[in-house]
Amino acid sequence: MPRASRLLPLLAVTSCVTGPANPNESPPARVELAAPASDAWYEHAVFYELFVRSFQDSNGDGKGDLPGLISRLDYLNDGDPRTTTDLGVDALWLMPVFASPSYHGYDVTDYERINPDYGTNEDLERLCAEAHRRGMRVIVDLVINHSSSQHPWFIDSASSPGSARRDWYVWSDRDLGWKQPFDTPSPAPTWHALDGAYYYGVFWSGMPDLNLRTPAVREEVKRIASFWLAKGVDGFRLDAARHLIETGGGTTGQADTAETHAFWKEFAEHVRSVKPDAVLVGEDWTTTPLIAAYYGSTERLPQGDELPLNFNFPLAKALLEAAQSGDGNGIAQKLLEMSSHYPAGVADTPFLTNHDNIRVATQLAGKPGPLVTAASVMLTLPGSPFLYYGEELGMANGPTAKDEDKRTPMPWDSSAAGGFTSGSPWFAFAPGHELTNVATQTKNPGSLLSRYRELIRARHASPALERGGLTLLTSTRGRAPTLAFLRTLGGERVLVVHNLGDTAQTTGPLELEAELLEPLFTDASVGSPARSGTAWSVTLPGRATGIWRLR
Q: Which residues are catalytically annotated?
A: 239, 283
Angle between helices 313-325 and 368-378 (to 10 degrees): 140
Task: Kindly calculate the radius of gyration of the chain based on its CA atoms and give it in whole angstroms.
Answer: 24
Dihedral sign for Cα 320, 420, 416, 59, please: negative
SS3 44: coil
* Nearest of 134, 85, 92 to residue 450 by alpha carbon: 85
How many angstroms separate the CA atoms of 154 and 92, rounded? 31
State the pairing for strand pair 482-489/98-99: unpaired
CA distance 421 to 240: 32
Enter the DSSP assignment of 31: -
Q: How far apart are the first and last CA of the chain?
A: 30
Question: How far, rounded to the nearest angstrom, does the alpha carbon of residue 70 sit from its chain's CA centroid?
Answer: 21
- Among 104, 241, 221, 202, which Cα is nearest to 153's? 221
Q: Identify which of 325, 337, 316, 333 has the alpha carbon closest to the alpha carbon of residue 475.
A: 333
Residue 435 has a CB neighbour count (10 Å cut-off) of 11
Peptide bond before 343: cis, by omega within 30 degrees of 0? no
* Rounded-to-integer distance, Cα 153 and Cα 304, Å: 33
Q: What is the largest CA-CA distance in the chain?
A: 81
Q: Is 199 exposed, middle or buried (0-12, 13-18, 19+ CB in 10 A)?
A: buried
**Residues 319, 519, 529, 3: what is their CA dihedral angle, to the nearest 10 degrees?**
-60
CB 486 within 8 A of CB 15: yes
